[in-house]
């Protein structure tokens, strides 16, 4: 898969995650047939977090990654809470309620 296609595809998916929902690195990776780690590297280079809502991407167990590029873990948690997502001990409380899966 072409590098630019991967980047564009990841960004298109995260651009469409609705406020109040999250998805996972693994779900994006599975959709695009790429590694969840590659998804994380792409998101870390997000050119505009106001358009590409990378704060809505969490680990598959609902935990928040420590390396969030725009304010760290605490910044990501604040953004998620402001959208109504329940977080406890650095984890989305109920992934079944808050998960969003792309139909990309």
Active-site option among 22, 38, 54, 57: 54
| Active site (annotated) includes residue 54 | yes
With contact defined as beta carbons under 8 Å apart, do 86 and 93 qualify? yes
Helix (H) or strand (E) holding 97: helix 95-98
Q: Estimate to the nearest angstrom the gap between the alpha carbon of 42 and the chain centroid.
A: 11
Q: Where are the alpha helices (DSSP H) in 2-87?
A: 3-15, 25-32, 36-44, 72-82
User: Which residues carry out catalysis?
Assistant: 54
């Amino acid at each position: 898969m072409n590098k630019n296609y991967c980047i564009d595809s990841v960004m298109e998916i995260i651009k469409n995650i609705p406020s109040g929902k999250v998805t996972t690195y693994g779900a994006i990776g599975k959709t695009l047939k790429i590694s969840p780690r590659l998804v994380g590297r792409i998101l870390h280079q997000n050119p505009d977090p106001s358009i590409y809502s990378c704060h809505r991407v969490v680990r598959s167990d609902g935990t928040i990654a420590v390396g969030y590029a725009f304010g760290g873990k605490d910044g990501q948690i604040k953004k998620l809470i402001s959208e109504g997502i329940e977080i406890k001990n650095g984890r989305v409380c109920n992934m079944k309620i808050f998960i969003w899966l792309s139909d990309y």
